[in-house]
Structure 1
Amino acid sequence: MSDDLGVTGGAEGIEVGIEDLRRASASLQRASDAVVKATPRETGVELPTPGVPVVGPDWGLGTRVLGAPTDLVPLVARCRHDLDDLVADVASAVERLRRLSREVASAAATYEWAEAAVRGLIDGVHVQAMATAWLVTELTGQAFGLLDEGSGWDVGVVPVSQTRSSPVIASADWLLSGLEGLSHDGSVRVVEVPVADGTTTWVVQVPGTHGGLWRGDEVPMDWPANVSLMLRNTGASKIAATKALEQAQRGRSRPGDRVVLAGFSQGGIVAAALASDPDFGRRHRVSHVVTAGSPIDQFPIPVSTTVLSLQHRADPVHALDVSPPPGRRHWTTVTSGAATTATGPFRFHDLPLYRRVAARADRSGDVSLTAWKRGAAPALTPAAGSRAVVHEFRSERRWQNRDS
C-alpha cells in the first residue's frame, strides 16, 4: 500500500484559498484605482468613464499651428493620435482589471457558499449519527450497563513519579513517542518544558482506550468514556487529564504558559474535548493539539489552537464521527496509507504505525506541515541549558454506580 501523505487544511486549506481570492480581488481593485489616480498626474489625461467614447486631450495645438514650422504639423497629429490610442488602451485595461476583481470576488463568495453548504450537509449527517449512537447507548446502558458511564465522574489522580527527561524534540513523532511508554492503568503524562521566552509549555499526553465495556471500571480511559466524550464532550478520561495537568502545574505555572495536548485514539478525543471546552480554555492557553487515529473533525476547537490530526486511510476509528477533515487555516490533517506489521481487524489503528506517519510528516516539505512545524517550535524547543520535567500520574474512576 502506498505511503504517500495527503495533507488537508492548514496553510493550503480551502479557508486560506478563499482568503487569498479575496485578497487578490482587493489587490486588482487597488491596481485599477492606482492607474486612474496616476494617469492625470503623469500625462494630464483624464481617463474616461467606461462605456463613454474616448476623446483625446486638447492642448490648444489646433489653434496655434498657424505660424509654426510646417513639418511639425504631422508630428503633432501623430502624437495626438497615438495619445488617443494610449488613453483608450489604459481605459480598457482599467475596465478589465475592475471586471477581473469582481469575478475573483464572486469566485471567493461561490467557494465560501459551496463550502458552507457541504459543511451543513456533513453536520446534518453527523448529528443524525450521534443521535443514533446516543439512543443505542442509552438503551443498552439502561438494559445491560453496556458503554454506560453514567452522568457524574468522581476521578482520583495520584502522582507516581517525577523525573528529568532527555531533551525534548519539537516534532509530532516526539509527542506521540511519550504515549508508547504509558501503561494501561489510567496513566497520564505531563511534561514540563521551560522555553526560551521565559514561560513553560505543559505537554499533556493521554493514551488510547483501555479498560472495560460494562458500566465502566476503575480505569477512566475505558470504552464508556469514548461514548461520553463523543456525545457529551466530557468523560472520566477528560477529568483525569485535567486533574493531572493541574497537579503538575501547582505552584509552578505562570501567566502566558502554553499547554500542548497530544493523544492517540481516545487520548486524541480527550485532547480535542479539552481544547474545545471554554472553561478549560479560560484557565489554560492551549496552543497546539496533536492527535493520531482520533475522530475529532467535528470538535469546535478555536482558531487560537493549532491542530495536527494524523489519520490512516484504512483505520475505521478516526471516521467514527462521520465527518471529513475540515479545511481550516489552523487545522492540518495528514492522511497516510502506510503499511503495518500489526494483525487483526484494527491493525491500522496502531500507535507504532501512527508514529511512522508522524515521522514522515515531520520530514515533509509540504507548505502546511512546514507552517505547523514553524509554529510549534517556540512551544516545544527548550531554553538553552534547561531540562524538561516529566510528571507521571495514575488515575482511577471511583464509579458512582458500583453498588447499584
Structure 2
Amino acid sequence: MSRELTVTGGTHGLAVSFEELEDGAQVLEVVGRDVAETAVRVGATAVEPALALAGVVAPVEYLAAEAAVLDCARDAVGVSTQVLATAETTRAALGLYRAGEQAAEALFDVAATSVGVAVGASVPTTALAAALFTPLLLPRLPMVGAPATAALVGLGLGLGQEVDELLVHAPGLVPFVAEGFDGLVIGLGRGTPALGTWLRWRSGRLGVPYPPRTQQEALQVVVAATGGIALDESDHEVRVVPHAVTVGRAPRSVADLVDDSGPTSGGSRVRVVGVPRADGSWTWVVDVPGTQSFAPRAGENPWDLTSNVLLAAGEQTLTMQAVTRALADAQRRTGSVGRSRVLLGGRSQGGLTAAALAADPRFRSRFRVTHVVTAGAPVAGLDVPDDVSVLSLEHTEDPVAGLDGADNPDREGWVTVERRVADVLGPDDGATDAHATELYAQTAHLVDESDDPSLRSWREGADAFLDGEGGDPVVIDYAVERVPAGMSAVAGSVP
C-alpha cells in the first residue's frame, strides 16, 4: 500500500495569503514611521537650550552627550529606513507574485477554455443531438429495440473503459477538461448557431449568464437548457423517514469517518450520530451518502446525477434539505439544546453535499458546523468559511476529485491530503477504481498514522468528535426519497 501523502494547507502549511502579506507590510510601514519620528525627537534634544547651557559648565561631557544623541538618532534613522524599505519591498514582491499568479491562472483558463471552444464547435449537430437526447430516450425505447440499445450501451462502455485506463496515466486531463467546460458550452453554441440561440434564450429566462465565463456558470446554462426534461427536480420535494433510534459506537479516527464499515456510515441513508457530553452539550456527526444513480432524470433516489450537477452549479438541492431535516429531527428527539458542535462528512457526492451545507449561511445559522471531512469530492469551488475546519482526502488518479478543475484553498483551516494510488491499482483497473471507498479508507488510516504537523493539528482540533468520551452514542438512519410535489407528507416522515 502506497504510504506517500502530500499534505497542503493547515496550521503548518507553507502558504501565506495575500491579505496576510499586505497586513504585514502595513505593520512594517507603521513601525518604520514611528521609528523615524523617534529619531527626529532624539535628534532634537541635541539642540535643547538646557543641554547647550550645560556645555558651558562641562564642555567635555557636553560633547560626549551630543555625540551619543546624534549616534542614537542616526541609528534610529537607519532602522527606520530599513523597515520602510522592507515594507515597500514586501508590497512590490506581493504585486509581482499576485500578477504572476493571475497571469498563470489566466493562461491556464484561456488555454482550457480555448480547447473547449474548439472541441464544442467541431461537434456536428447530429452527434450533439445524439449526445443530448439518446440518454433521455433510451428508457422509453420499445423492447424491439433492445438489441440496438444494448449495442449503443456496449459501445459507450467500451469507449469509457479506454478513457478510464488512459486517465490513470494522465490524471491532469480531468481538471483541464473541467476547467474548459465553459468553453465547451460556448463552442457548442457557435458550432450550432440554432443551439446557441436556444441556450441564450433559456439562460436569459432564468437570469443565468450566457455565454458562461466559469465552469459553474456553464453548468447553470446546462441546468437552464435541460429544465423540464432532465437535471431538474423543481417539481419534486423530499421525503425523510427516520428508522429506529439505536445505541452505537462513537468514531475514534478519521478512518471511522470514511470507511463504509465505520460507525458513522449509514450506507445509502443519511446517518446522524449524537454523543452526549459531560457538560450537557452534544457532538453530532452526520454522514451523507454518495451517488447511487446516474439516470439523467430526477427519480425517486435523490443521490443521483441531477443532484450532482445542481450541487456543482451552486444550486440548493433536495438532498441538502434532507440532511437539514434529519439533523434537526435527531436533535429534537434527543433533547439536544443550544448550538452543539457538528461534523459533516461524506465521500463523492456526499462530501460535495457536506461542504455545500457548510458553505450555506442558512444552514450555519441553524447548526454550529465546526468540521467537514470529504473523500473524493470536488469541493474547491465552495465558499466554506475560515472558521470551519476542513479535511479533504483526494487521490491523484481519481477523476471525480478533479471535476472542479481547481486546487482546494491552501489555508490554515483547510487541509488537503493527496495520495497517488496508481501503484496499488490492478493491471486492468482504471481511474474510476481510484474512487473506490476501500482505497479512501486506506488513505484515511494513513492520515491517522501520519506525523505531519498539519494533520496532527487537525486531529487535535477534531478531538471533541474523536476522543471517545461522553455517554452512549445515539444513532439514527434516515431514508431519503424524492417524490412529486405534494406527496412528502406521510406517517413517520420528518416535517
TM-score category, normalised to shorter length:
0.7 to 0.9
Q: Cα distance 1:156–1:334, how it changes in 2: closer, same or farther (>3 A)? A: same
What's 1:154 paired with?
Answer: 237
Matched, 1:93 2:75: no
Q: 2:282 aligns with which of 177, 200, 212?
A: 200
**Structure 2 gaps, min length 5:** 114-178, 183-212, 488-495
Does residue 340 (structure 1) correspond to residue 424 (structure 2)? The answer is yes
Q: How many pairs does the alignment contain?
A: 381
Aligned position for 2:5: 5
Q: What is the CA deviation profile of residues 126-148 of structure 1, one whole-angstrom value per residue up to 9, with x for unaligned ones?
A: 75334444555666676xx5x53
8 Å Cα contact 1:293/1:349 also seen in 2? yes
* TM-score w.r.t. length of structure 2: 0.65
**Shift in alpha-carbon separation, 1:178–1:257, aligned structure 2, 3 A:** farther
AA at the equivalent of 1:7: V
Does residue 393 of the first structure (1) align with residue 478 of the second (2)?
Answer: yes
The letter for the 2-side match of 1:148 is L
What residue is the counterpart of 2:313 in the other structure? 231
Contact 1:179 1:206 in 2 (8 A): no
Residue 85 of structure 1, CA deviation: 4.2
Distance 1:77 1:341, change over 3 A: same
Q: 2:270 corresponds to which residue?
A: 188
Is the contact between residue 307 and residue 330 of structure 1 (CA under 8 Å) also seen in structure 2?
yes
Q: For 1:92-129, what per-residue CA distance to the aligned partner results, in whole angstroms no more than 9, with x for missing partners? A: 22221222233334545665676677778869957533
What is the one-letter code of the residue matched to 1:239?
Q
Q: Which amino acid aligns with 1:299?
A: L
TM-score w.r.t. length of structure 1: 0.78
Q: Cα gap change, 1:161/1:396 in structure 2, threshold over 3 Å: closer, same or farther?
A: same
CA distance in 2, matches of 1:91, 1:131: 54
**C-alpha distance 115-179 of structure 1, shift in aligned 2 (>3 A):** farther
Instruction: State the alpha-carbon separation in 1 of the partners of residues 324 and 449 from structure 2.
Output: 32
Q: Does 1:308 align with 2:391?
A: yes
Task: Give the corresponding residue for 1:243.
Answer: 325
The runs of 5 or more residues in structure 1 that have no matched partner are 49-53
Residues 32/356 of structure 1: CA separation in 2 closer, same or farther (3 Å cut): same
What residue number does 1:377 align with? 463
Measured in 2, the distance between the counterparts of 1:46 and 1:155 equals 74
State how 1:4-403 maps to structure 2 within 5 Å.
4-12=4-12, 16-22=16-22, 24-25=24-25, 28-29=28-29, 31-32=31-32, 35=35, 46-47=42-43, 59-60=51-52, 64=56, 81=67, 84-108=70-94, 111=97, 127-136=213-222, 148-169=231-252, 171-177=253-259, 182=265, 186-251=268-333, 252-338=335-421, 339-341=423-425, 343-384=429-470, 386-399=471-484
The C-alpha deviation readout for 1:324-352, integer Å capped at 9, x for no partner, is 21233432222121443463440111122
1: CA distance, partners of 2:70 / 2:352: 68
Q: 1:95 to 1:389 in 2, by over 3 A?
A: same
Q: Which amino acid aligns with 1:328?
A: R
* Residues 35 and 79 in structure 2, CA contact (< 8 A), matched pair in contact too: no
Aligned partners of 1:220 and 1:240 also within 8 Å: no
Q: Cα 1:306–1:115, aligned 2, differ >3 Å: closer, same or farther?
A: farther
Letter of the 1:46 partner, please give it: V
Quick check: 18-27 or 390-399, which moved more? 18-27
Quickly say closer, same or farther: Cα 1:375–1:16, change in 2 above 3 A: farther
1:264: Cα distance to partner? Answer: 0.1
Higher relative contact order (CA 8 A, sep 6+): 1
- Aligned partners of 2:255 and 2:262 also within 8 Å: no
Q: Is the 8 A contact 2:307 2:319 kept in 1?
A: yes
Write out per-residue CA displacement over residues 326-380 of structure 1, whole angstroms, 9 at most, x where no aligned residue. 2334322221214434634401111221222223333334343333223222354
Q: Which amino acid aligns with 2:6?
A: G
Cα displacement (A) at 1:210: 1.0
Percent identity, aligned pairs only, is 33
Residues 58-115 of structure 1 show CA distances to partners (whole Å, capped at 9, x for unaligned) of 84489638xx8xxx95x87677556644542332222212222333345456656766
Kindly indicate whether the alpha-carbon contact (under 8 Å) linking 2:285 and 2:465 is maintained by their aligned counterparts in 1.
Answer: no
**Between structures 1 and 2, the one with greater helix share:** 2
Give 3-state SS (helix, strand or coil) of 2:285's partner: strand
Partner SS, residue 288 of structure 1: strand
CA contact (8 A) 2:43 2:69 kept: no
1:179–1:263: 8 Å Cα contact kept in structure 2?
Answer: no
SS of equivalent to 2:42: coil
2:313, 2:17 → 1: CA distance?
32
Aligned AA (1:101): A
Question: Aligned partners of 2:227, 2:261: CA distance in 1, in Å?
Answer: 30
Q: Output the CA distance in 2 between the equivalents of 1:119 and 1:283.
A: 37
The aligned amino acid for 1:398 is: V
- CA RMSD, aligned part only? 3.9
Spell out, residue by residue over 1:129-174, the C-alpha distance to the aligned partner (whole angstroms, 9 max, x if none): 34444555666676xx5x53432332222223322222432x4322
- The structure-2 alpha-carbon separation of the partners of 1:63 and 1:129, relative to structure 1 and needing over 3 Å to count, comes to closer
Hey, what's the Cα distance between the residues in 2 that align with 1:203 and 1:258? 9
The answer to whether the 8 Å contact 1:307/1:331 transfers is yes
Native 8 Å contact 2:400 2:435 kept in 1: yes
